[in-house]
Amino acid sequence: VLMSVIPLFLLSLTLRGIPLTGIRTFTPELEIETRIIGGKEAWAHSWPWQVSLRYATMPACGGAIIAPSWVITAAHCAPTGLNLLLNLVRVSRIVTHQGYSRRTKEFDVALLKLQTPLLYDEHVGPIEIWMDALRPAMSCSVTGWGSTRENGPRVNRLQEVNVSLLPLDKCNQFYRGRIRPTMFCAGRPEGGVDACQGDSGGPLSCFTGERYQLGGLVSWGVGCGRVHRPGVYTKLQDHAPWVADVMNSGGLSCGEAQTPACRLGSLPATLVAAGGEALADGGGEVGPGGVTEACPYSWPWQVSLQSEGRHYCSGTLIHRRWVLAPHHCNTKTGDMVVLGVHDLRFMASQSVPVDEVFEQAQDGSFPPSNDLALIRLSEPARSGEPRIPVCLPDDDIEVDDSWTCVTTGWGQTKTLDNVSPHSLHQATVSLVNLTASRSIWGGGLIKDTHLCTHPAAAIPCMGDAGAPLVCQKHGVYFLFGLVTWGSRRCDLIRPAVFSSIADVQLWIRDTTEDV
């Protein structure tokens, strides 16, 4: 997402000019002073894929080389802002898994794309992801420069320790059900061997009998080396398709609008209205929201839902295989999802049939409190521009005045006659709090599962059902809702109403993971 510089201390191997993955120069038997938790100092250059990520001159996390231009680490090690440093390897792109949750620690994986490919030599080389089943009691090695005791100082020399993989059910007993299928535990039930502070994101390397492969990344735990508190790791074999997708796309990640030169005017994200009064910003009357034609392909997650060649709703690409759309659009199996299109009269970059539609359970209320459906594509969207999924926000992310929010769609708009109904158009919108929206709409129409915005986002104003509400911060766009209904006349009094995705994140994750 951001251009950053991170110093990476790298180790590796080539043989007769051909780089070998997962090969150590040697595996010494010599015991050296105890390090990590219950481990020892590693022999120099014996883990050639190990890297150190340093922020503000201090080592912060580990990582592993998986390709000349790619380093893999934990998502919690990849913040949006990184400091420049010395001994530099420049990072051109940081791609964090779109499903990463700071609360549950799921999908704790990120990729760093290097601006200049690494040259494999005697000290620098890659490791492949372990794709076979990880068996309980299997012994693997974890490496890093973290503390050698809980709350102790970090060390300057690379440490290693052998840990045993533990059964998932046993680990869940220790952690009271917090261990998800995309995680695993390693250590010993009685404690004494573990990664510790500063080892996060570092590799857990497992020997196949011929070479080492990357089984996991240090993710989280309670303390260091405690009894019944083994280390918890990201299971990388479950993330291998995502890793391949990101690398094949050149590192284009979710939420990146690729045409920054063609942008919008700004309105604050939050706009509070008094009941019965026109919405206003700083005392001035709000105009129709600045509906304009979008720059071609500048909103790469926007898709057109079509039946027999006719557009009937917008949808939003949230994953290469999944689109989120309103339930009331009644999308059917066999309808077409058209991706990478700006003008509906011309050829799109990809058209994919709908494989299956998954709908939220309805409570019978009107207007519906839940108006969302997940659409599975019959084949994945091709990677790269102009087809990039939007990001889904973490459960604890809330919109405030520091965000810029936009809605986009096709169709005949009632706000500007010179905007073609065939071309994608856009409007910057501000949020209206629910209390003010309820006082304006009345009748108990606004539910807690709704988001409300400036009227320009309503279907009669924008001309489209299913238009997404995306809000941007630090150059990344997150999906917060899909338009559901609004004023029939496109007046400037009644806010547009969106179905919020905040309360359906678990449903989205469960549906897309289980199918």
The residues that are catalytic are 76, 108, 200
- β-strand partners of 468: 482
Give kind and range of the element (H or E) at residue 439: helix 434-441
* Whole-number Å distance between alpha carbons of 336 and 316: 14
- CB count, 10 Å around CB of 417? 7
Burial class from Cβ neighbours inside 10 Å (0-12, 13-18, 19+) for residue 426 reads buried
Omega of the bond leading into 386 within 30 degrees of 0 (cis): yes
* Whole-number Å distance between alpha carbons of 448 and 227: 44
Omega of the bond leading into 367 within 30 degrees of 0 (cis): yes
CA dist list (Å): 90 to 84, 95, 100, 189: 9, 15, 24, 40
- In 3D space, the residue among 162, 129, 300 whose CA is nearest the CA of residue 231 turns out to be 162
Q: How many residues does the chain have?
A: 515
Three-class DSSP category at 131: coil
Residues with Cβ within 8 Å of residue 59, at least 6 apart in sequence = 52, 53, 145, 154, 198
Is-contact 473 394, C-beta < 8 A? no
- In 3D space, the residue among 58, 48, 42 whose CA is nearest the CA of residue 7 turns out to be 58
The one-letter amino acid at 40: K
* Whole-number Å distance between alpha carbons of 254 and 79: 15
Three-class DSSP category at 224: coil
* Whole-number Å distance between alpha carbons of 494 and 483: 14
Tokens coding 228: 């019944």
CA dist list (Å): 64 to 4, 143, 160, 200: 18, 10, 14, 11
Is-contact 195 162, C-beta < 8 A? no
* Whole-number Å distance between alpha carbons of 502 and 437: 18
